Amino acid sequence: TVLHDKVKGWHRHKKLTSNFAAVFGKIKLVVYDTRSDSKTKGKIEQFFLSQENYKLITVPPLVWSGIKGISKETSIVAICTNLPYNESEIERKSPFDKTIEYDW
């Protein structure tokens, strides 16, 4: 779940692929690609997910992501992965870390 105006992120997985969908409410999903061999290296993308704008967004390994609750009510986010959750393969940064130039 994500509360209104709450930001969760930044984080990236070393091996795991995540698939995000908003089941209830509205969220902003932001991704930042730092992979050196990627054609989207250095690019920041944002997606607004809700029941009215239903999408499934796939975030591959080594891409930073974060989410923010947009709707007034608590949002519910489904995050489906290709591997079992493993805390040791996650990197985390503050949502306000200056190495990622994004204003939540």
Asked if residue 92 lies in contact with residue 66, where contact means CB atoms within 8 angstroms, the answer is no
Question: What integer pLDDT is reported at residue 58 of this predicted model?
Answer: 98
The string of pLDDT tens digits covering residues 5-18 is: 999 999 999 999 99
Beta strands in the chain (DSSP E): 7-13, 18-24, 26-33, 44-50, 57-59, 63-69, 76-81, 90-92
Question: What integer pLDDT is reported at residue 3 of this predicted model?
Answer: 98
The string of pLDDT tens digits covering residues 46-89 is: 999 999 999 999 999 999 999 999 999 999 999 999 999 999 99
pTM of the model: 0.94
Question: What integer pLDDT is reported at residue 52 of this predicted model?
Answer: 95
